[in-house]
Amino acid sequence: MNKIIPELVRNSVIGSIKEGKRLDGRAFDEYRPIEIEIGDLGKAEGSARVKIGNTRVECGVKIGEGEPYPDSPDEGILTVNAELVPMASPYFQPGPPDERAIELARVVDRGIRESKSIELKKLCITPEELVKVVYIDAYVLDYDGNYIDAAAFAAVNALQHTEIPEFGKLPVVKKPISNTFAKIGDAIVLDPSLEEESVMDARLTVTIEDNGHVCAMQKGGSGYFTADEIKNCIKTAKRKTKEIRKLVK
């Protein structure tokens, strides 16, 4: 990514952060504008498109049937895949999913799974034999930083509006909300832009469920977060989640 972002811009980001500012004028704990559109993929049982600033992610939900896992014979199956579409950024390349796409899918999956957002037992058709399978596919269409939260928001909104043929609405009971932070030097910013990601030392995604509890966390990058920094990120995530949850359709 460093090759894509000019050195002058990267230096400007670092200099601005040291002065307690962000290049786009946001506060350190402020998201870019968030836009959500529901149901624009006609062939999916549920879909949503989310924009955070200029980052855009489309998410579709398809429902199939399959054999349950041996350790959960009476529960439906959740599977999440992510694709970083090459036209979204010169940073993305054609080919099989790389480690970034795999990580994105895992973060989205973990937030939904650990919050028990979907009542999977209600998706059982015949115990040990046949269950419904929920396929979530996330596509990063435009990349300007923080595709993790955009994908997570899109998945949650798509699930909320998923209809299963001859079954009814997907039994979704919780709406986990992710909040992604970037550590740049000694500062931590919420919803990092592409320029901020290019100079960050580490990244932390904190997912909050409906009752305000942390249900998942994912750290990325080679740097680290101290215990106090993690506590502050969690505190901020809980506060911002209350605002973001109002946007979930």
pLDDT tens across 75-112, in order? 999 999 999 999 999 989 999 999 999 999 999 999 99
Q: Is the confidence at residue 4, as pLDDT, over 70?
A: no
206, amino acid identity: V
> Which residues are bridge partners to 34 per DSSP?
52
The mean of the pLDDT values for the chain is: 95
The helix (run of H) or strand (run of E) holding residue 154 is helix 147-160
φ, ψ for residue 13 (rounded to 5)? -60, -50
**pLDDT digit string, tens, across residues 193-205:** 999 999 999 999 9
- Write out the E strands in 55-129: 55-66, 77-84, 124-126
Q: Is the confidence at residue 3, as pLDDT, over 70?
A: no
CB 65 within 8 A of CB 124: no
Q: What CA–CA distance (Å, rounded) separates 94 from 117?
A: 32
Check residue 41 and give its pLDDT. 72
The sign of the CA dihedral 222, 226, 232, 237 is positive
**pLDDT digit string, tens, across residues 103-122:** 999 999 999 999 999 999 99
pTM above 0.85, yes or no: yes
Percentage of residues in the chain having pLDDT higher than 90? 90
Tokens representing 137 are 């596919």
Full set of structural domains in the chain with CATH: 7-245 (3.30.230.70)
Check residue 2 and give its pLDDT. 55
Check residue 7 and give its pLDDT. 87
Q: Is the confidence at residue 36, as pLDDT, over 60?
A: yes
* C-alpha angle 92-181-8 in degrees, rounded to nearest 5: 60
As a residue count, the chain comes to 249
* pLDDT band at residue 59 using 50, 70 and 90 as cut-offs: very high
Higher pLDDT, 246 or 237: 237
Residue at token pair 């993690």 = 230
Check residue 38 and give its pLDDT. 93
